[in-house]
């Protein structure tokens, strides 16, 4: 049973913050073409382009429900914030801590949406939600007539994907992973339709639910992510790197094992020994998004640099960057490294391809869905610093010969993952479902045809 307490709710509209107790959202009272609720704890998440596109039509009502952890506002979008009142109990079984946190989060969004429905009269036609954190767990109980479209990012498996990839899975791991999918399974059952961004991620989900899922990538804005031969990067010491220089790049949200940071660093040490003119740019932070955390009091970056002792005058950790600055890093790159476990594929890999980077990616299934070795990039063993270093050296030594791979990398993104092609498909799906029109199996985006 949901336990009621005094509601703490903040509504942000056009940059103004007020209590919902004292304000009525006039934008939610008028006649509209479509009412859409987006749900993601971290606005805008995967809905950056979608919510903007729907909000551009003044006849639509667009509401975004999220946690109060960002100052981001989107023109035409009513931002509604919620926060948790407590964390999971310290006595909860460790297999179920994530589930309890999801229930708590789902309860808070339930309370907020009940208030929106009863006090503001807001009843969405369509709800687009990332269910991974539990936000949408009870949403159909509040809005039973709304069509719920869940974004299905990753289904956990004890074999064949991230678990057991680098370290053998224990029996405890297998039990933990089985319970980790509780929210996934509830979300699959509750939704009217689901979207997964890549074929490999789609295939991780139980086949019994494939009938109501589409494969549509979020989309890469290739009008912004594009090559720029005039791009330059200024380093803190005053050195300027530009396109054509021997610059090796690596981008990850955090420096961690899931994104092959340890392999990358081993390769950097070998590269520096082989090429004294190489500069390496590493973009990212020292937290851990996925997998095992570093020992308390240290970070993976600190551990590996202390062990390998690379030349820090040629290895530049430049932290996290604004999007346009990150693109400049890609645009000056002579060779771009992307490594990952069999896991969620990063936007940055595709953005790098759109910038015509010469890609060196790991031979793992998510990467191989997009990159074909020798056609639009080079592939390497995820675990081998030596093979990675050799691939990078080959790329640096054969820039002109390998230029067609750069062209083909961008062509791959433009043809199969371009925002201007995929955004209309996403909008068509949402608009169709709002009218009770369900897509046919042909709505699933086909795999890219690879050369033999």
The SS3 assignment for 69 reads: coil
pLDDT for 451: 40
The length of the chain, given as a count of residues: 452
Whether pLDDT at 452 is above 70 = no
Q: How far apart are CA 411 and CA 405, in angstroms?
A: 10
Q: Which of 232, 295, 282, 291 is nearest to 253 (CA)?
A: 282
Q: How far apart are CA 55 and CA 24, in angstroms?
A: 19
Pair 65, 39: CB distance under 8 Å: yes
Chain-centre distance for alpha carbon 408: 24
pLDDT for 31: 56
Q: Which of 20, 66, 18 is nearest to 42 (CA)?
A: 66
The DSSP result for 11-58, as a single string, is EEETTEEEETTT---GGGTS--SEEEEEE-SSTTGGGHHHHHHHHTST
259 contacts: CB under 8 Å, gap ≥ 6 = 252, 253, 339, 340, 341, 346
pLDDT in tens, 164-218: 999 999 999 999 999 999 999 999 999 999 999 999 999 999 999 999 999 999 9
Q: Which domains does the chain have, with CATH numbers?
A: 10-215 (3.40.50.2000), 232-416 (3.40.50.2000)
Chain-centre distance for alpha carbon 80: 22
Task: Retrieve residue 202's tokens.
Answer: 């789609």
Compute the radius of gyration of the chain from its Cα atoms.
Answer: 23
Pair 339, 361: CB distance under 8 Å: yes
pLDDT for 39: 98
Identify whether 197 is preceded by a cis peptide bond (ω within 30 of 0).
no
pLDDT in tens, 390-431: 999 999 999 999 999 999 999 999 999 999 999 999 999 999
Q: Which of 214, 169, 210 is nearest to 188 (CA)?
A: 210
User: In which residue are the tokens 């994104």 written?
Assistant: 259
Whether pLDDT at 23 is above 70 = no
The SS3 assignment for 373 reads: strand
Calculate the alpha carbon distances from 7 to 21, 29, 42, 116, 124 in Å.
9, 22, 21, 12, 21
Task: Evaluate the CA torsion angle 362, 363, 368, 374 in order and state its sign.
Answer: positive
Whether pLDDT at 17 is above 80 = no
pLDDT for 441: 59
Q: Taking residues 358-380, what's their average pLDDT?
A: 98
pLDDT for 385: 98
Question: Is the model more confident about 291 or about 51?
Answer: 51
The three-state DSSP-derived secondary structure of 222-241 is CCCCCCCCCCEEECCCCCEE
- Report DSSP state, residue 243: T
Confidence of residue 71 (pLDDT cuts 50, 70, 90): confident
Q: How far apart are CA 198 and CA 368, in angstroms?
A: 11
Pair 204, 330: CB distance under 8 Å: no
Q: How far apart are CA 436 and CA 125, in angstroms?
A: 10
Confidence of residue 292 (pLDDT cuts 50, 70, 90): confident
Task: Retrieve residue 309's tokens.
Answer: 């002792």
Whether pLDDT at 25 is above 80 = no
Tell me which long-range contacts 294-299 makes (C-beta under 8 A, separation of at least 24): 299/255
Q: What distance, in Å, lies between the first and last C-alpha atoms of the chain?
A: 57
Whether pLDDT at 10 is above 50 = no
Pair 50, 38: CB distance under 8 Å: yes
| In 145-220, alpha helices (H) | 171-180, 182-190, 199-203
Q: Taking residues 326-344, what's their average pLDDT?
A: 98
127 membership: H or E segment, kind and range: strand 126-129
Whether pLDDT at 70 is above 90 = no
pTM reported for the whole predicted model: 0.90
Using CB atoms within 10 Å of the CB of residue 435, give its burial: 0 to 12 exposed, 13 to 18 middle, 19+ buried.
exposed
Report the percent of the chain where pLDDT is more than 90.
Answer: 87
What's the mean per-residue pLDDT of the chain? 91
pLDDT in tens, 89-130: 999 999 999 999 999 999 999 999 999 999 999 999 999 999
Whether pLDDT at 1 is above 70 = no
């Amino acid at each position: 049973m949901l336990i009621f307490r005094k509601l703490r709710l903040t509504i942000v509209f056009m940059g103004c913050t007020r209590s919902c107790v004292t304000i009525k959202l006039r934008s939610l009272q008028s006649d509209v073409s479509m009412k859409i609720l987006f749900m993601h704890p971290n606005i805008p998440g995967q809905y950056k382009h979608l919510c903007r596109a729907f909000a551009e039509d003044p006849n639509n009502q667009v509401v975004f429900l999220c946690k109060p952890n960002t100052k981001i506002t989107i023109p035409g979008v009513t931002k509604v914030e919620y926060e948790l009142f407590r964390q999971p109990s310290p006595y909860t079984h460790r297999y179920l801590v994530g589930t309890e946190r999801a229930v708590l989060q789902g309860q808070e969004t339930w309370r907020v949406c009940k208030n929106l429905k009863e006090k503001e009269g807001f009843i969405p036609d369509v709800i687009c939600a990332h269910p991974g954190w539990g936000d949408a767990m009870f949403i159909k109980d509040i809005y039973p007539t709304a069509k719920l479209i869940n974004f299905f990012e990753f289904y956990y498996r004890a074999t064949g994907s991230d678990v057991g990839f680098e370290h053998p899975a224990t029996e405890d791991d297998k039990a933990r992973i089985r319970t980790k999918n509780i929210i996934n399974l509830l979300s699959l059952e509750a939704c009217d339709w689901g979207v997964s961004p890549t074929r490999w991620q789609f295939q991780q989900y139980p086949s019994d639910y494939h009938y109501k899922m589409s494969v549509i990538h979020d989309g890469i804005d290739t009008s912004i992510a594009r090559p720029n031969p005039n791009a330059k990067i200024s380093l803190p010491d005053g050195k300027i790197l530009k396109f054509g220089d021997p610059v090796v790049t690596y981008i990850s949200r955090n420096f961690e094992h899931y994104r092959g940071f340890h392999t990358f660093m081993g390769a950097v040490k070998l590269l520096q020994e082989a090429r004294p003119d190489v500069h390496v740019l590493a973009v990212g932070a020292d937290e851990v998004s996925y997998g095992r955390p570093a020992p308390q009091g240290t970070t993976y970056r600190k551990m590996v640099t202390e062990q390998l002792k690379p030349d820090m005058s040629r290895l530049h950790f430049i932290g996290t960057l604004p999007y346009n600055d990150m693109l400049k890093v890609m645009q000056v790159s002579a060779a771009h490294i992307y490594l990952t476990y069999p896991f969620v594929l990063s936007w940055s890999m595709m953005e790098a391809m759109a910038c015509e980077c010469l890609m060196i990616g790991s031979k793992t299934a998510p990467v191989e869905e997009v990159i074909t070795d020798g056609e639009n990039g080079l592939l390497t063993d995820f675990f081998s610093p030596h093979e990675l270093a050799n691939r990078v050296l080959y790329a640096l030594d054969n820039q002109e010969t390998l230029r067609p791979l750069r062209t083909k990398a961008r062509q791959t993104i433009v043809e199969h993952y371009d925002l201007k092609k995929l955004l209309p498909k996403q909008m068509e799906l949402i608009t169709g479902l709002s009218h009770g029109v369900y897509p046919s199996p042909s709505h699933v985006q086909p795999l890219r045809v690879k050369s033999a």
